[in-house]
A = this chain, B = another copy of it.
Amino acid sequence: MVSARTIGRLSLYRRLLNEMQAEGALSVYSHDLAAKAGVTAAQVRRDVMSVGYTGSPTRGYSVPGLAEAIGEFLDAPEPQSVALVGVGNLGRAILAFFSGRRPKLSVVATFDSDPNKVGRVIHGCRCYAVDEIETRLAELGVGVAILTVPAGAAQEVAERLVRAGVKGILNFAPVPLRLPRTVFVEDIDMTVSLEKVAYFARQGAARKEWNR
């Protein structure tokens, strides 16, 4: 019912609200939050509406109240487990990036095809063989995966993940995955992104070329 764009913005709002709360702010107006997030005030109001939270015309939104409401909307009741497949340079960096960042969403296992990596503990996470995906994921109850394997292996590994019960994939491999529509895939294609930036940097950009 709620678009992927909206979900993305809500995630961002929450982070900004947490920062504001750490600075002692108790309430915030839609235009304040909008300015920090780089969107319009109307956008913020509409997004807030979609989580069913209401503010007050005099004080705006309660910072902790809205942060919590977004949390209830976005987060699962219980923490979700994440697997990371492909422990190369990028995989390790991403693992380090996420470790400890979101307690409700933690990487519990990694997988690689390199026998030298299997068995090691990297950033607090044990590395298993790719062959073990099916058994381990069922065991750990993993529904979300991060894919950081080389392009050539991506499709095959993705299918394996889906067979193991994964319902959502954050795909860093530069290949569009062909998967059942019931699996949500978010692509982060760094080459495409960099080419986009290079193109608009030349064109003078202008206009409002950001979709976030």
Measuring CB to CB, which residues of chain A are less than 8 angstroms from any residue of chain B? 3-5, 7-8, 11-12, 15, 36-38, 74, 76, 80, 82, 88-90, 92-94, 96-98, 101-102, 105, 143-144, 146, 166-170, 174, 176-178, 181-212
Contact = CB atoms under 8 A, between A and B. Distances in A.
A12 B184 contact: no
Given A89-B92, A168-B205, A182-B206, A102 B197 contact: no
Contacts of A37: 176
The main secondary structure of chain A at its interface with chain B is mixed
A4 B198 contact: no
B208 A181 contact: yes
B209 A197 contact: no
B97 A190 contact: yes
Contacts of A7: 195-196, 199-200
B190 A210 contact: no
Given A92-B93, A101-B191, 6 more contacts: A7-B196, A102-B191, A105-B198, A144-B197, A184-B201, A184-B209
